[in-house]
Amino acid sequence: MPAVPPQVAQDVAPPVAVVQPVVTPVAPPAFASGREPTGPTTFTFAGETTQGGWIRGQVPGGTVSARIDDQPLAFDDAGTFFAAFDRDAGPLATLSATLRDGRTVTSPIEISPRAWNIERINVARTAGAPSETFMARRRPELEQIGAARAAETGATGWRQPFVWPVTGRISGRFGSQRIYRGEPAAYHSGLDIAPGAGTPYASPADGVVVLVADAPFSLEGNLLIVDHGAGLNSAFLHSSEIVVREGQRVSQGQMLGRVGATGRATGPHLHWSLMWRGRRLDPLLFLPPQG
């Protein structure tokens, strides 16, 4: 085939195919190595396409790079990936893949809204700006949390169906929020489970421990963060005891610590939060009903 003259090639853009994604209940294929992803002509996935939700799936065959909106997607040699949607995600997300032949495939995903538990209070919000004394302690804590959340350990727990870290009374739900005369306070960023002080809790999926607080943090108390890989991580707050160490690989169901009330807590409970690439997720959307 004759080469395209340079002056013509500048005006020729690779075609863009807009293809609806395929929702499939089939589990992602096993890891492979040393080969280009093969498979579907568009994205396939299963999961929860709602605010605070997630998907696991497979990129189109021949994909060399992929994104969801402006966020790059990591995928393995078999083309499997994980992505998620923030609590305040808009109504539409777009998966896009660049193929080896230069074509681009895009697949829109409709994100359903959630009816969050919003409590409107007809009084002025009293919380003021934190003091410099508090922030002098808080900034190093936030730096440690940020570094742990950004860690890339190669863990593969993101590929597993998650299990409850502990069962018990749900004392706080993800996404709930108070609004004081039109001024919103921060929403609740995790799931609170209150099984009783000292109850052991376990890892909901395989992972690597990326943070164990040396001393109780100002808000979180004894804090533990586990990386599940692909940008997904769990944080466990207010522990009375943590029995794992930083850098340790943990298996699904392995004991991590005990429920407590350290830090800013009104009573013993496990606050479990999930994040993916800075997006806050609803742990309940990863779990089966409590047995």
pLDDT tens digits, residue range 34-86?
455 678 999 999 999 999 999 999 999 999 999 999 999 999 999 999 999 99
Neighbours of 114 (CB within 10 A): 17
Q: Tell whether 162 and 203 lie within a shared domain.
A: yes
Q: Residue 278: inside a domain, yes or no?
A: yes
Q: Last residue of a domain, which of 110, 132, 165?
A: 110
Q: Tell whether 126 and 253 lie within a shared domain.
A: yes
Q: Tell whether 96 and 214 lie within a shared domain.
A: no
Q: Residue 241: inside a domain, yes or no?
A: yes
Q: Tell whether 69 and 102 lie within a shared domain.
A: yes
Domain count along the chain: 2
CATH of the domain at 241: 2.70.70.10
Q: Tell whether 147 and 246 lie within a shared domain.
A: yes
pLDDT for residue 194: 98
Q: Last residue of a domain, which of 67, 92, 110?
A: 110
- Nearest to 94, CA basis, from 74, 77, 112, 111: 111
Mean predicted confidence (pLDDT) in 249-264: 98
Q: Tell whether 212 and 278 lie within a shared domain.
A: yes
Contact 231, 207 (CB under 8 A): no
pLDDT for residue 44: 96
pLDDT for residue 128: 66
Q: Residue 291: inside a domain, yes or no?
A: no
Q: Tell whether 136 and 68 lie within a shared domain.
A: no
Q: Tell whether 219 and 159 lie within a shared domain.
A: yes
Cα gap 23→5, rounded to integer Å = 42
Mean predicted confidence (pLDDT) in 168-183: 94
Range of the domain at 79: 6-110
Q: Tell whether 193 and 123 lie within a shared domain.
A: yes
Q: Tell whether 22 and 76 lie within a shared domain.
A: yes
Q: What is the DSSP string of the chain?
A: -PPPPHHHHTTPPPPEEE---EE--SPPPPP--SS-----SS-EEEEE-BTT-EEEEEPPTTEEEEEETTEEE-B-TT-EEEEE--TT--SEEEEEEEETTS-EEEEEEE-B-----EEEESS-----PPPHHHHHHHHHHHHHHHHHHT------GGGSPP--SS-SEEEE-TT-EEEETTEEPPPP-SEEEES-TT-EEE-SS-EEEEEE-SS-BTTTBEEEEEEEETTEEEEEEEESEE---TT-EE-TT-EEEE-B--SS-SSSBEEEEEEETTEEE-GGGGSPPP-
pLDDT band at 174; cut points 50, 70, 90? very high
Q: Last residue of a domain, which of 110, 132, 157?
A: 110
User: Global pTM?
Assistant: 0.86
Q: Residue 186: inside a domain, yes or no?
A: yes
19-28, 56-65, 279-288: lowest mean pLDDT where? 19-28
